[in-house]
Structure 1
Amino acid sequence: MATWNHRKAKLEYSIIVFVALCHMFSYVQVHARSFSSDKNVEYLAKHKGTIKTIQSEDGDVIDCVDIYKQPAFDHPLLKNHTIQMKPSYYPKGMKLEKIEAEPFQGYIECPEGTVPIVRAQLNNTRANLFPQRKYLPEAVGYNHEYAQVSVVDGNYFGATARLNAWHPSTFNGEISIAQFWILSGLGNDRNSMEAGWIVHPDDTQTRLFAYWTSDNYQRTGCYNLECPGFVATANQWLLGARLDPISTYADKQFEFYLSVRKDKQSGNWWLRFQDKDIGYWPGSIFTGLSDRAELINWGGEILNSKSGGRHTSTQMGSGHFPSEGFGKAAFFRKLASFDESGAEINAENVQTYVSRPECYDLEIPNKNKDVWGTHFYFGGPGFSDKCK
């Protein structure tokens, strides 16, 4: 009898361990399966240079494209471009400590020598999650609204921050964004590199994104790899991928590290997410940013379509005002720029801009600067008795 109980106990223990391991691996390993055709879903043609196609558990279809055949090299200024596989150096003191939330490390891993690119679905709203260019107010009748801080009139060679991820409610084709902008030039000569998270009303996910333009969003630029320009080097699917887990109100908070830094040897602007160098914008595709940036913004942005003749209910950040503080409001912390040597410089004397404080606001706390550096809370619910 004792032998039977002992065997039974070992069996039960083995089952518990097996279940625990299955749960753990379902959480942190690659969440993907080989792509198989679904008769109910139509996809655009696979990308040029595709070596392998993978379908995520969320239904996204990712082509693993030969790194030398990615869209970047269709750009007329990159025809003879030589890929830089990694930054030429990492500045001494560059803050690269890891975050505990490993699921931010990505979900799809392509074979070495390839880069992942999302394939759009036809007859599906998700095909339009990342339009080629950002919405322009004069073109579509949208108002952009902001809650942001800036450092101005300087010589900047990159920017960095840590920000927590949320999934604000969005409506009427509007989007909600938390990002930083690295800028140079004025008017139609405005150059911009942007990175952060984005939420679209036709999607149930919060996604990592990058964006660029060299002519103030007129004819150049796009999100992620939707047009020639950004050179991807990582074989993990990160740009356009969902961020999971995300922060929940009055509960767990999940943040990530994001930076863009100019490599002084190559002139390329490298995008880093957590401990991964995703790729870079070649300096040659820009005008002003071929040299340096003059302005950096960090903060939130929403589109307000004024549907029904009133202010939108699209939320910014967590959908709660910054006065609610940690665990309830969205934040950016450890704001910094990079100087020409690559050294990280804490953002001091930032200027604030809030377009409609009764709808979305921003607050810079005085405490915790020794741990959080320069930081701020931002966001709001949109439409209310005060925001009309």
Structure 2
Amino acid sequence: MYEKLVQSYETGEVIDCVDIFKQPAFDHPLLKNHTAQYAQVSMIGGNYRGANAKINVWNPTVMYPEVSFSQIWLMSGPKENLNTVEAGWMVTTVPSTGNQPELFIYWTSDGYQQTGCYNLECPGFVQTSSKIALGSRILPVSTYGGKQYDITIGITKNDVLGRWWLRVADVEVGYWPGEIFTTLGGSADVISWGGEIVNSEPNGRHTSTEMGSGHFPSEGFGKAAFFRNLKFVDDGSIERDAENLKTYVTRPECYDLLLKVDPPNPFGVHFFFGGSGFSAQCAN
């Protein structure tokens, strides 16, 4: 049912996109007035040492100057001092890259105010592998009603050295040192998996930027985007199926999510998500 993901990593690309979160740190004038919208599931309140999933890869339409993400977040701390490590794929138009999904990471240790960046744009993440280039395109992508491709993303804490390690497929790409964090110097207390888009409200209406495949989760496999085999690493460093998941959808008439908890299934704990943005139901 699944094809093995084939990735094309083009070296030399520099991702010069901006901070899309609604914090005072972003620096592109076209993104001054926008909102972020989400369709995600979360585990909350534990002492988490890692998370992973297989993320379906698509090529959603993204309006300028916006971004569409499918990613994993590990978080800790209050909003004003939020620590995160993040990884997944994104399609960005700032700068324009031809609307192609790209591997990305992000981190912050102060709620996106002064610290953190995408990929290797600032000191922080230490890359140890020469096989995978952060910010490069992912190929091939899934097609509507056709072959489906996914990419395995995992983030795991090494408690001996205090590092958060990033794994893509079977490659250890590198790590975030514990020293760059405050609360994430220990464990994460929230894990989230899901989609996010930027809505700059062009012409005073909701954006047409797509999340996931651009289709709603009710359409199911082969049409809607998915995350499958959601796992977390507990405080004993044991990997387990995700559990007690909380669903958070900002505007279900624009982007929605359908959670399935079937660990014996090859999909494991999984969900379908996404949407088309602007429509008769999602107008403003």
Q: Give the TM-score taking structure 1 as reference length.
A: 0.67
Preserved CA contact (<8 Å) 1:135 1:142: no
| 1:308 partner SS | helix
Shift of 1:372: 1.5
1:136 aligned partner? 22
Displacement of 1:310 after TM fit?
0.3
Aligned equivalents of 2:90 and 2:252: distance in 1? Answer: 21
Report SS of the residue matched to 1:103.
Answer: coil
Q: What TM-score does the superposition give when structure 2 sets the normalisation length?
A: 0.91
CA contact 2:3–2:148 (8 Å) conserved in 1:
no
Shift of 1:187: 2.0
| Residue matched to 1:174 | 66
Contact 1:319 1:329 in 2 (8 A): yes
Of Structure 1 and Structure 2, the greater strand share is in 2
Q: Quick one: distance in 1 between partners of 2:244 and 2:202?
A: 37
The 1:101–1:221 alpha-carbon spacing in structure 2 relative to 1, beyond 3 Å, is same
The alignment status of 1:275 with 2:275, answered yes or no, reads no
Alpha-carbon shift at residue 203 of structure 1 (Å) = 1.7
Deviations 1:119-148 (A, max 9, x none): 54xxxxxx63x33x3442666111000000
Unaligned 5+ segments in structure 1 are 1-98, 109-115, 121-126
* Residue in structure 1 matched with residue 146 of structure 2 by the alignment: 251
1:159 aligns with 2:62: no
Please state whether the residue corresponding to 1:370 is helix, strand or coil.
coil
- Indicate the larger mover: 312-321 or 198-207: 198-207
Q: Say if 1:134 and 1:222, in contact at 8 Å, map to a contact too.
A: no
The one-letter amino acid of 2:206's match is H
Give the superposition deviation at 1:249.
0.4
Alpha-carbon distance in structure 2 between the residues aligned to 1:270 and 1:146: 25
Whole-angstrom distance in 1 between the partners of 2:151 and 2:234: 22
Specify the structure having the higher radius of gyration (Cα): 1
Q: Highest relative contact order (Cα 8 Å, sep 6+), 1 or 2?
A: 2
- The RMSD of aligned alpha carbons is 1.7
SS in 2 for 1:141: coil
* Amino acid corresponding to residue 313 of structure 1 in structure 2: S
Query: 1:232 is matched with which residue?
Result: 127
Change (3 A) 1:365 1:346: closer
2:218 is equivalent to residue 317 of structure 1:
no
The answer to whether the 8 Å contact 1:261/1:270 transfers is: yes
AA of the residue aligned to 2:9: Y
Q: 2:86 aligns with which of 186, 194, 202?
A: 194
Q: Tell me by how many angstroms 1:368 deviates.
A: 7.1
Q: Using the TM superposition, name which of 338-347 and 168-177 deviates more.
A: 338-347
1:103–1:367 CA distance, 2 compared to 1 (3 A): closer
Instruction: Give the counterpart letter for 1:296 in structure 2.
Output: I
Secondary structure of the corresponding residue to residue 45 of structure 2: coil
User: Per the alignment, do residues 241 and 295 of structure 1 end up closer, same or farther by CA in structure 2, a change over 3 Å counting?
Assistant: same
Aligned residue identity for 1:107:
Y
Q: Secondary structure at the match of 1:284?
A: helix
Size of the aligned set, in residue pairs, is 273
Question: 1:282 offset after TM fit, Å?
Answer: 0.3
Assess if the C-alpha contact under 8 Å between 1:172 and 1:307 holds in 2. Answer: no
> Equivalents in 1 of 2:37, 2:158: separation in Å?
32
Q: Distance in 1 between matches of 2:229 and 2:152?
A: 10
Per the alignment, in what secondary structure is the counterpart of residue 214 of structure 2?
Answer: coil
Identity %: 49
Identify the residue that residue 197 of structure 2 maps to in structure 1.
302
Q: Is the contact between residue 260 and residue 269 of structure 1 (CA under 8 Å) also seen in structure 2?
A: yes
Alpha-carbon distance in 1 for matches of 2:21, 2:258 = 27
- What is the match of residue 103 of structure 1? 6
Which range is displaced more, 199-208 or 144-153?
199-208
In structure 1, the partner of 2:106 is 211
Residue 198 of structure 2: SS of its match in structure 1? strand
Q: Deviations over 1:313-362 (max 9, x none)?
A: 00000000000000000000111111234211111120000000000000
Determine the C-alpha separation between the residues in 2 that align with 1:232 and 1:368. Answer: 33
Change (3 A) 1:311 1:187: same
In structure 2, how many angstroms separate the alpha carbons of the residues matched to 1:240 and 1:142? 24
Distance 2:202 2:90 in 1: 21
Q: Distance in 2 between matches of 1:119 and 1:299?
A: 25
Is contact 2:69-2:211 (8 Å) kept?
Answer: yes
Q: 1:218 to 1:137 in 2, by over 3 A?
A: closer
CA contact (8 A) 1:184 1:288 kept: yes
One-letter code aligned to 1:203? T
Say if 1:177 and 1:300, in contact at 8 Å, map to a contact too.
yes
